[in-house]
Chains A and B, each alone.
Chain A
Amino acid sequence: AQTVTQSQPEMSVQEAETVTLSCTYDTSESNYYLFWYKQPPSRQMILVIRQEAYKQQNATENRFSVNFQKAAKSFSLKISDSQLGDTAMYFCAFMKGGGSNYKLTFGKGTLLTVNP
């Protein structure tokens, strides 16, 4: 079974600064996908970024980028130029690839507060 660990329950950052959220995972699979989801106070689950394990290049989406270290089983999220609207819970999630049922395994989340 897969496990996802987010070791930072809460973090805060000043507006316009950069913050990195940590995520580690444990799996014996070689084909898998990793995701970061954002959950603002509205409670919606919003996909922020995804990474295919077979790709060495780190994914980027505008101000969001990841540092994917496959050997270390680490998948951190970097948010640049933080904005007040980035305040949310952030969840790291794992999905086994290869024609599976595409279930997601989530970490417990990190509450990020962006301060003005």
Chain B
Amino acid sequence: NAGVTQTPKFRILKIGQSMTLQCTQDMNHNYMYWYRQDPGMGLKLIYYSVGAGITDKGEVPNGYNVSRSTTEDFPLRLELAAPSQTSVYFCASREGQGANQPQHFGDGTRLSIL
């Protein structure tokens, strides 16, 4: 069972570079989320999507972009990497209706901006 798959697992970027963090889920979940986890902190929501073609900002969207062209994929784009974006990034998904459905998380991507 693949669940939520994130790639890459680790990446080092230089300031000003751009990259895309990939997230794929094979559970046909409507809802998908991107979080960042800074050292000693809980997860903070960057962007989320309630279905293909629909995305919305979370708590900390600045410096990021997302798209949701398919149900399965929800990539996160960093256009101009900054040291403040050094973090661990988690993608998650959940089924649609039913508030008691939990979020399923990927294994995270550790990103360092130098």
B107 and A101 within 8 A (CB): no
- Count the A-B residue pairs with Cβ separation under 8 angstroms: how many? 61
Q: Which single residue of chain A is at the shortest CB-CB distance from B108?
A: A43
Residues of B within 8 A of A50 (CB): 100, 102
B99 and A106 within 8 A (CB): no
Shortest Cβ distance from residue A109 to the other chain B in the assembled complex, whole angstroms: 5
Query: Are A44 and B105 also in contact (CB < 8 A) when A91-B42, A101-B48, A106-B42 are?
Result: yes
Shortest Cβ distance from residue B4 to the other chain A in the assembled complex, whole angstroms: 10
Tell me the complex Cα distance, A44–B107, Å: 5
Tell me the complex Cα distance, A43–B43, Å: 12
Tell me the complex Cα distance, A43–B90, Å: 10
Chain B 86-104, CB within 8 Å of chain A: the 1/0 string?
A: 0010101010010111110
Identify B107's interface contact among A4, A43, A52, CB under 8 A: A43
Cβ of B41 within 8 Å of any chain A Cβ, yes or no, is: yes
Residues of A within 8 A of B44 (CB): 106
Q: Which single residue of chain B is at the shortest CB-CB distance from A47?
A: B102
Residues 25 to 51 of chain A near chain B (Cβ within 8 Å): 31, 33, 35, 42-45, 47, 50
Cβ of B33 within 8 Å of any chain A Cβ, yes or no, is: yes
Tell me the complex Cα distance, A31–B100, Å: 12
Binding site for B on A (CB under 8 A): 4, 6, 9, 31, 33, 35, 42-45, 47, 50, 52, 91, 93, 95, 97-109
5 residue pairs, one from A and one from B, having the closest CB atoms: A106-B42, A45-B105, A97-B99, A47-B102, A106-B43
Given contacts A104-B103, A106-B43, 8 further A-B contacts (CB under 8 A): A6-B42, A43-B107, A45-B105, A47-B103, A98-B99, A101-B31, A101-B56, A106-B44
